[in-house]
Amino acid sequence: MNKEDQYMTAFGFSRVPRRHLLLFAALFGSTVESAEATTLTVGAIDANGMACTLADAIVAADNNISTGGCPAGSEDDTDIIELTGDVILAEALPEVRSYCSPEPDPCAESVQTRITINGHGHSIARSRDPDTPEFDLLTLFALCGEGIFMPPPIVMLNDVVLKHGQTGISLKVATLGIECPPELELVNSRITDNSGDGISARFASMRLTNSVIESNGGRGIGGYATDIHLTDSTVAHNADRGVSALGGLPFYERRGVLSVTRSTLAGNTGGGVELAGLHATLVNSTVSGNGNTKTTGGGIHVIPSDSSDEQPVTELTLINTTVSDNVAELGGGVYRDSGEHRIFIDRSTVINSILADNTGGDCMSAPGTTRIAFSGQNLIEDGGCFDPSYSNPPLIGDPKLGPLEDNGGPTLTHALQRDSIALNRIAFIHDVNGNPLGCEGTTDGVTAGVVTDQRGVSRARPGDDFCDIGAFERAFPSAAGECKNGGYRKFGFDRLGQCLRYLTQRKTQSH
């Protein structure tokens, strides 16, 4: 058994069937046939009358060899796979790996695989035939360790739907102390109706933009020692947690991070977010309607992580985030566990955020946890997670949130009603030249970066230099055109007529 076989066996990863891939014929001895970027069109017919399938296109792009009816991929550039229709799979696609030469040393010379799949709205789906076995739809794999290194593949999916698999996308790494995370980027894409996780990743990196992970039978996204970045995206109605982000053990260099920006996690049965052993930041985001009466931390669950030192290993930062309508036995909004190990340190910071209308408590901390740091102006409806000694205690009371709905922007939000106590509570800061810096308290109690709300509506508007608490900024129209074509929603109005009446009243009051 050679060294790569030993690594593969030790880490429990099986090879792709030879009839799909002929992978090691490509890895060990094949010549590279193309040096420029290649476009591979699924469904195209070559000169010999052979069709280019998605499986063949992945092999051709991955290993830079002509496969089936597909031309060879390139060695140095990103190969483009174009879908021309829905792809129905009866068996798993080949794993996406990187080209690795065995000479002079195993994988000393290697070529990194870069693939973009443009879906044009089409689906990659497991067949619904009852005889079709379960399998993951797409797998990215990297192998690295002493004496062998397979560069991690980089894959982007644009405007693609992945559904009906076991796991939608799986990112796997077999590693011995060397960091080689495969990279996944989803743009305008959707992963839905898979029997397991939407995305499952170990020692990897993923970035989702304008994408949706919904209605999967496991977690929406599960990551171990993985960098997870969500922007303008939705993770909703998954059977387990929406996002589970767990940091690597202390002897691993990679801990991972979780970054959620202008995104919504909603209706996930197991809970919204759980995290341990890494730094998680939620900015201008909404965590709503997650959890159940038997769980802890229906919206956000901060769990203990053993550490070999006394440095903080888990950090949670909420900035202009709304956590509402979540359910749990303990900590419907946020629950912070203590665990049995006093080495564990949790640093949680809440900045200009709303925790309200949660069943099981808006914010709860187990005995032995450190105090939450509050910055700016927060609102916690039931007053949880603070005591009278705090220098800047949060507001207590009903923020009067509207239902989770389309208020404009790419994701659903809770609008602030016109009589909400969360309105105009935070000063908006400008520099000496009048340039917007953001809502006061965002960073180090002063300024920073939050200049719009979750929908992209400006926090500072003419005549109003104050920010609202939470993810939604209640803005007001200045002209009838801003109310039309559904624009009234972004100003918190239920109907077009309400928006137009507001303008009429303002005009009357100004005369």
> What string of DSSP letters covers 179-222?
----EEEEES-EEE--SS-SEEEES-EEEEES-EEES-SS-SEE
Which of 158, 193, 217 is the endpoint of a domain? 217
Stretch (H or E) spanning 499: helix 496-510
Domain assignment present for residue 331? The answer is no
In a 3-state reduction of DSSP, which class is residue 358? coil
Q: What percent of the chain has pLDDT over 90?
A: 57
What secondary structure letter does DSSP report for 64?
A: T
pLDDT at 323 over 80: yes
CA distance 83 to 99: 24
Stretch (H or E) spanning 505: helix 496-510
Of 176, 170, 112, whose CA–CA distance to 145 is shortest?
176
Domain that holds residue 66: 1-217
CA distances in angstroms from 62 to 40, 58, 74, 152, 171, listed in the order given: 12, 6, 9, 11, 16
Q: What percent of the chain has pLDDT over 70?
A: 83
CA distances in angstroms from 401 to 71, 157, 285, listed in the order given: 55, 35, 14
Stretch (H or E) spanning 61: helix 54-63
- pLDDT band at residue 340 under the 50/70/90 scheme: low
The pLDDT tens digits of the residues spanning 405-445 come to 998 889 999 999 989 999 999 998 888 888 888 888 865 44
- pLDDT band at residue 249 under the 50/70/90 scheme: low
Domain assignment present for residue 83? The answer is yes
- pLDDT band at residue 446 under the 50/70/90 scheme: very low
Domain assignment present for residue 44? The answer is yes
Domain assignment present for residue 200? The answer is yes
CA distance 399 to 177: 49
Tokens, residue 284: 């201008």
CA distance 220 to 199: 6
Domain assignment present for residue 334? The answer is no
Q: Which residues of 166-198 are buried (b: 16+ CB within 10 A; e: fewer)?
A: bbbbbbbbbbeeeebbbbbbbbbbbbbbbebbb
- pLDDT band at residue 344 under the 50/70/90 scheme: low
Which of 201, 217, 233 is the endpoint of a domain? 217
> What string of DSSP letters covers 7-56?
HHHHHTPPPPPHHHH-HHHHHTTPPP---S--EEETT-B-TTS-B--HHH
Report CA 253 to chain centroid distance, whole Å: 22
Domain assignment present for residue 88? The answer is yes
Domain assignment present for residue 493? The answer is yes
Which of 197, 217, 237 is the endpoint of a domain? 217
pLDDT at 18 over 50: no
Query: What pLDDT does 495 receive?
Result: 85
What secondary structure letter does DSSP report for 410?
A: S
Residue that has been written with the tokens 């200009």 in this structure? 352
The pLDDT tens digits of the residues spanning 156-191 come to 999 999 999 999 999 998 876 667 889 999 999 999
The pLDDT tens digits of the residues spanning 40-70 come to 999 999 999 999 999 999 999 988 899 999 9
pLDDT at 456 over 60: yes
Domain assignment present for residue 347? The answer is no
Q: How many domains does the chain have?
A: 2
